[in-house]
Amino acid sequence: MVEWDVTCGKASSNKSGYACGNNTDCNDFTNGPGYRCLCKPGYNGNPYNRSHGCQDINECKEPEVYPCHGKCRNKLGNYTCDCPFGMRGDGKVSCQISHLAMLVAAVIVAFFFITISALVFNTWRRRSKQRNFKRNGGELLKHHRVQIFTEAELAKATNNYNDSNKLGEGGFGSVYRGRIVGETMVAVKKPKDVHESLVKGNFQHELEIVMQINHKNVVRLHGICLETRIPLLVYEYISNGTLFQHIHQNASNILRSWKNRLRIATEVALALAYMHSCAEPPIIHGDIKSVNILLDQNHSVKVSDFGTSVLISPEHSHIIATEIRGTLGYIDPEYLTTGMLTIKSDVYSFGAVVVELLTGKKPASFITKSGESINIIHYFISSVKDKKLSNVINFEAASEDEMERVGMAAEITVKCLDQSGAKRPVMMEVAEQLARINQDLDSSIVEENIEETESEVDEESLYSHATSTTTMMSQHGRSDSFYLTSSSI
């Protein structure tokens, strides 16, 4: 029999007389004896049903009553609500994105964006290289003897154009030393970051020039890169510096010998004679100076830098320059005043180089004589005419015979420096005369430096080369004197 007028404690001690079923709570009345039964939180049903009592509520099935903003898990008398991955908080109230999740999401988005951007950029770059290759004449040039390099190959060869590999720079580009596959050293001419139309025209023009040249005293084009907007020109690497460096910067043993000075002058003359008389079409270098005359490991001449060179058709004697280009001291005065560039402009520049070679002074420099400043070229000319050449040369002749040959070379130089281009000799004539002096030079002269003789070019070979070049010119049916009488552009 159930007793209702007792307390919960007393009633629960009497199992048979306790009215509350399973999962219930017993509460005493506050206003008198007795108690009542209630389902525990999380349970519902009839608390007075002794056999079944209160049953667990599955809160996950009643989200409108028991909210959950994450993953709901039912428990006896309760439930849990876990926030989704990357979020934090009480899922029964609200879930917020965690800082870590935000960072991870940002990283994922950034990685995705970078990956897509890289794919797009690489696709664009590959197509751009293909367009540049075709636009720069790659389909035609790849069938020539010149080697085609990729942009990546040259970047690797020059250590990404590191300043430590820079050999020099000019108005339109810088030259970098590089090492390509097979341990071959090259010089890569890379355009400067100036207006594309100017640079591109200059480099394509230079490419057109050097493709015409094949001479042992002219620097050889080793290859070309056509993948860039402006082609990269790859020349053979000349290891022994410029003539300018040997004259003005180094205590060069090679120039202690008159024979070597004469040989260098002769080889420059042979290169210019080839360009003027044997190249098809003829080439005016336009910027002959000691900086553009390189010396290889055997101290043989390699004429370089054809950025200002021009091709001239046989029916014309000159071109009218839109702007004067060149280096003060080496520029032909006639070209400077009229704007007409001819092969005789190269002859004057050659004469200025020989003056520099004999005097050790830059062509634009002045010396003071009797209180008057005189340009070194004018002083050289007057010294030759007054038979006082020994006053101006910067080396000592080994004998009277050698000094006589120095004088012969100086007289040829003076003719090259005539103010009138028409009166200057052609380069083929100059080359023949210098080669003849070289051949006739007394071979018994004792060199001041014995090692120099091992690197010298045989004098007879120079004369033979000059003679063969003359024969080649005749076979082409052309004489340089032609340019003096032909019509102007």
The residue annotated as part of the active site, out of 25, 82, 163, 287, is 287
287 as an active site residue: the answer is: yes
Gap between the Cα atoms of 199 and 45, Å rounded: 92
**Integer CA distances (angstroms), 149 to 87, 138, 225, in order:** 54, 11, 5
Retrieve residue 100's tokens: 């870590």
Gap between the Cα atoms of 407 and 395, Å rounded: 13
Helix (H, G, I), strand (E, B) or coil at 41: coil
Question: Rounded to the nearest 5 degrees, what angle is found at the Cα of 271, between the Cα atoms of 265 and 273?
Answer: 100
Is residue 257 within 8 A of residue 448, CB to CB? The reply is yes
Burial pattern 190-228, b for ≥16 Cβ within 10 A else e, equals bbeeeeeeebbebbebbbebbeebebebbbebbbbbbbb
Environment class of 182 (CB within 10 Å of its CB; exposed 0-12, middle 13-18, buried 19+) = exposed
Q: What is the DSSP letter of 405?
A: H
Q: What are phi and psi of 485, to 5 degrees?
A: -110, -10
Residue at token pair 């080649």: 472
Retrieve residue 303's tokens: 């004429």
- Interstrand relation of 301-303 and 221-225 (parallel, antiparallel or unpaired): unpaired
Helix (H, G, I), strand (E, B) or coil at 374: strand
Task: Name the helix (H) or strand (E) containing 259.
Answer: helix 258-277
The set of catalytic residues is 287
